[in-house]
Structure 1
């Protein structure tokens, strides 16, 4: 994965080279939001999935870049005050803090349309049918029926009682849709069979769920230095995530009433967080969350059983552990 990240970094750097004139600030913000960050999981999945079918690595790199640009744009917009209001991203100031809100919005917009410009270019694949399939697939994965829809559910669920089914759906859309397409894109490039494509989508969906569940658990467990963003953000924003649902399932009536009162507040304080954290620890909610994530890791591993034994298949199966161990 480190090798893929290095190649992706070089490709993005060339793609987002600095510009002169009034738009120079825009390209600086686009570079800031896209470079020096993340494990590049999504393009890695595209590259590895394409290798299963011996598809061109150069084509896969371009498609992986497009997917990563969509991911980066989503992070820029998610961090805005109108959305999640995060001041820290990948261990450094968010784009709107480093620049300003207007520039961050425009940078996100520009990253998004650049992704589709790349996919529509014949350099990505000589077959126009393949390019159309890629454009359509990424549009679905990143739009209202995918990533953006998941973000809407996330915003609407703040300070509300939501169940496990709603949280799972939000996770499948907000995080899982783009991860799923990352694998599907490799299958599209390799002109895989329907069965092979569905197996990769299933694998990626479960990886995405494991990834998001681990993310939610780390909000009550990790440190800013390790996690790269502020700890407790979900709690302070009033978001109901799996660790809290576990408390509701395991806690007594008094504890459930306590949590309901906390989440009725417009703002929660450090004392609220400390008391909630005590309940998280009492009922081992973080451990239970990781156990559920582990279940999806195992299911994702089995989804690749359709493919013959190969180094490429082994890489994808070994990647399942990354979704749980990425913060340690």
Structure 2
């Protein structure tokens, strides 16, 4: 479990802490929610890398968990990380019971059959059909597989504070899609030594991606437009949202 948590961008945990800061919530009060999101994300990567799923042997520049140990160990480590996430959300530091319950429910919806797991199921199903996905279908898939957990991460601060998460939801919807588009760009232009995972695998597998449908320049332009949307959604927070704006810009300039 610890091995699976090492490395990565920590973007989701960062979004939790920065969204909380918008409402005057100190980092130590929100830290359990940030850790919960990172644990949940790590579990998803461990299972996503399994031979029955994406069958990847490299993650964050190191052998994937099932390669370093074995499949059974990877499955159990992922299961334990998932349950740890919900344990962390019961931390009294996160506030009154009703707010902790909102966090638990929000993460469950983001991670389960209406969110991340749905996106993963759609991704697997797409591999068994001869008809490439349309742009709308890829967008729906990625809104679940990648976007749902990013959306929860950005909304978490508002949930901890008991405030309206709508502006942060709009920010995260644009950010999450831009993040995945840039991932598709990196799969074409990236270097495995920098990304920490295999590149070119989508093209090799014949998968439809934002790049295959929009072209490289078109995909990059769409990602930039989405970041503009994300920034505009933060207007109600004024200068306090500066770090979240920088995080959005980072998502389409990163090399990993």
Q: Same fold (TM over 0.5)?
A: yes
1:70 to 40, 50, 54: 40
Within 5 Å, which residues of 2 pair with 1:48-59?
48-59=18-29
* Aligned: 1:182 with 2:153: yes
Equivalent residues of 2:32, 2:91 under 8 A apart: no
Q: Secondary structure at the match of 2:44?
A: helix
Does structure 2 conserve the Cα–Cα contact (< 8 Å) formed by 1:221 and 1:286?
A: no
* In 1: Cα distance, 2:254 partner to 2:217 partner: 16
Bigger relative contact order, structure 1 or 2, given CA contacts below 8 A and separation 6+?
Answer: 2
The answer for unaligned runs of 5 or more in structure 2 is none
Task: Give me the whole-angstrom Cα distance separating, in 1, the residues matched to 2:138 and 2:186.
Answer: 16
Supply the distance in 2 between the matched residues of 1:60 and 1:117 (Cα, whole angstroms): 14
Equivalent residue, structure 2, for 1:87: 57
Alignment of 1:96-107 (within 5 A): 96-107=66-77
Aligned equivalent of 2:203, options 232, 235, 252: 235
Which residue of 89, 100, 106 maps to 1:131? Answer: 100
Instruction: Give the aligned partner of residue 244 of structure 2.
Output: 316
Query: Are the counterparts in 2 of residues 214 and 323 from structure 1 also a CA contact under 8 Å?
Result: yes
> How far off is 1:231 after superposition?
1.1
Larger radius of gyration: 1
Q: List per-residue Cα deviations over 1:96-136 (Å, max 9, x = no partner).
A: 001100000000000000100111232x4241001100000
Partner Cα separation in structure 2 for residue 305 and residue 67 of structure 1:
25
TM norm structure 1? 0.75
Aligned equivalent of 2:253: 325
Mapped partners of 2:124, 2:29: distance in 1: 36
Deviations 1:293-316 (A, max 9, x none): 111011001000112333xx1111
**Local SS of the residue matching 1:325:** coil
Corresponding residue number in structure 2 for 1:44: 14
Aligned residues of 1:160 and 1:240 also touching (Cα < 8 A):
no
Q: Is 1:140 matched with 2:102? A: no
1:306–1:126 distance in 2 versus 1, CA, 3 Å: closer
Distance 2:238 2:201 in 1: 43
* Gap regions ≥5 residues in structure 1: 1-29, 247-284
- Kindly state the Cα deviation for residue 227 of structure 1 after the two structures are TM-superposed: 1.4
CA RMSD of aligned residues (A): 1.2
Cα separation, 1, equivalents of 2:204 and 2:45: 19
Partner of 2:87: 117
Provide the aligned length of Structure 1 versus Structure 2. Answer: 254
Residue 287, structure 1, aligned to residue 217, structure 2: yes
